Structure formats: structure tokens, C-alpha cells
Structure 1
Amino acid sequence: MTDLNDLFEAARTVRKRAYAPYSNFLVGAALRTPDGSVFTGCNVENASYPVSVCAEGGAVSAMISAGHREISEALVIGDAALCTPCGMCRQRLKEFGTDTLVVHVADLEGIRRSFTMDELLPAAFELEEKRTGSR
């Protein structure tokens, strides 16, 4: 496992920038790519709740717009000890995750638990190319 301090600090910093006037539940996410680049995102709520953006979704969008396509490690931080990604974000992480992607879940005090993608989303949708290894 790599040093997680940089991911933790990046997620904790971006969490403070979240826009959550409806739930008052701030979430930050930090993703690491195989080359060591780190991308962050925070939740952005909206009065029309379905158009809100999760922290993980924002981080994935930042990663993709920078030209990266793989996540090797992820960290999500919220006020709750087990602020795991929602179902949509689990699928997003699976879509771009390496075969060894680990998702770390933290509160403001530190990492509380780490999950493999198979633990978070055991029957995920995925591209045929990814299933057969011809990506």
C-alpha cells in the first residue's frame, strides 16, 4: 500500500470547499492514477437534488479532463466513519479502476476502512474489453 497521507490531505482540503447547504454533509474525494497524479472533487448539491454532484464524480471528471483513464487508489472523506461511495460512484470507480483499486474511507480523524472494488460492488457492469483484458 502506498503512503496515504497525500490522498487524505487532498481529500480533506477539497472537502472544505464542498457546497452542501441542504444536507450540511461535506464530502471530499481524492483519486490517484498509476503515474502518481492526484485528482480531487467535492460534493456540490442543488435544490433539484438529482442534479447534485458527488465528490467522487467530480474527481473522476477532473481526472478524465486531464487525460487520464485509470484510478489505482481512491480516498473518500466525510463526517461519518463509513462514508462509502454511493451506488453510482461505485460504478464510476469500477469503470476507471485498475484491477487492484482500493477505496479508502475516512472521517476527519483518519482512514477507517479500506475496500476492494469487489467488496463495494460485487456484480458491477463493465466493458467486455475490460472483462477479457483486451482494454
Structure 2
Amino acid sequence: MPASPAAATLRKLERAAKAAAKKAYAPYSQFTVGAAVLMSNGDVFTGCNVENASYGLCNCAERTAIFSAVAAGKKQLSCVVVYTPTARATAPCGACRQVIHEFGPTARVVSVCDGKERIDSTIAALLPGAFGPADLS
């Protein structure tokens, strides 16, 4: 398992995820989500959710952040922090869990919100028995 980020790094990721949510394009749901991902080399990438009138074409904040990292040549994910503007923390959806597993099968996943609740887990706990690259060999 990759080293868990220090408390200061985790707070930085939480602030970055909250700031990313302000950039969300969510005219239909008004549910603005932000994510910050920490790559194994220390680089941080952020993302927000992007909705579309054709709902199936929407993209979640977690995947936006991870895809930005991959586009920059980074493929080893160690931590994902997700912020939702809710009273209770919200875990990543199934599609995001699958993508997190692809690039960080031992990643830490933290969900924060406007309330005091938080979810602090691993992708293995959130997606037990995950299908991944090793299953294709």
C-alpha cells in the first residue's frame, strides 16, 4: 500500500477539491462536486463534474481529475479526495471506483462535505473483488 499522505497534504487536497467544485458545470443537478488526486510522485490534479443535456455524457469530478493526470503522463494514483456540497459525505460512484482502482489499486479514498462527516477508506474496501488489469493477463 502506498504511504498515506501526511495530515497537511490531506488538508491541501481537501482545499483543492473544494475549490475545484466551484468550477463544476452542473446546470441540471446543481450538485457541484470537486476532486483532488495525489499521484505517487507527489503531483496533484483536480477535477470537477461536467454535466451534459444528454445525461449519459456527464463526467464525475473524480474521473475528470484522474483523466487530467493521465493526460499529463501520470498513471500511479495514491489518494483521491472528493468534496460534495452536502451535510453528509458522499462516496464515489461505481464508475469512479473502477477508474480509481485502475490507476491506484491500493489508493486511499477520502470523501468530505460541508458537514463534519467524512469517509476515509481504501478503494479495495469500496470496491471489493475489483476487476482490473491483472484480470486481463
Given that 2:91 and 2:119 are in contact with CA atoms closer than 8 Å, whether structure 1 keeps it comes out as: no
**1:79 aligned to 2:72?**
no
Task: Tell me which residue corresponds to 2:103.
Answer: 96
Normalised to the residue count of structure 1, the TM-score between the two structures is: 0.89
Given that 2:21 and 2:48 are in contact with CA atoms closer than 8 Å, whether structure 1 keeps it comes out as: yes
- Could you say what secondary structure the match of 1:29 adopts? strand
Q: Quick one: which of 44, 53, 60 aligns to 1:47?
A: 53
Query: Structure 1 110/23 Cα, relative in aligned 2: closer, same or farther at 3 Å?
Result: same
Query: Structure 1 111/72 Cα, relative in aligned 2: closer, same or farther at 3 Å?
Result: farther
Q: 4+ residue stretches of structure 1 with deviation over 4 A?
A: none
Task: Give the letter for the 1:20 counterpart.
Answer: A
Residues 78-117 of structure 1 deviation map (CA, whole Å, 9 limit, x = unaligned): 0232211110000000000053x11000003566120111
For the aligned residue pairs, the C-alpha RMSD in angstroms reads 1.8
Give me the whole-angstrom Cα distance separating, in 2, the residues matched to 1:130 and 1:37. Answer: 28
Given that 2:46 and 2:65 are in contact with CA atoms closer than 8 Å, whether structure 1 keeps it comes out as: yes
Q: How do residues 1-135 of structure 1 correspond to structure 2 at under 5 angstroms?
A: 1=4, 2-3=6-7, 4-80=10-86, 81-99=88-106, 101-109=107-115, 112-128=118-134
Task: Give the letter for the 2:90 counterpart.
Answer: C
User: 5+ residue gaps in structure 2?
Assistant: none
Residues 45-100 of structure 1 deviation map (CA, whole Å, 9 limit, x = unaligned): 0110000010011001110011100110110000232211110000000000053x
Give me the whole-angstrom Cα distance separating, in 1, the residues matched to 2:23 and 2:30. Answer: 12
Query: How many aligned residue pairs are there?
Result: 130
Give me the whole-angstrom Cα distance separating, in 2, the residues matched to 1:43 and 1:112. Answer: 20
Query: Structure 1 130/12 Cα, relative in aligned 2: closer, same or farther at 3 Å?
Result: farther
Give me the whole-angstrom Cα distance separating, in 1, the residues matched to 2:118 and 2:136. Answer: 30
More strand by share: 1
User: 5+ residue gaps in structure 1?
Assistant: none
Normalised to the residue count of structure 2, the TM-score between the two structures is: 0.88
- Could you say what secondary structure the match of 1:41 adopts? strand
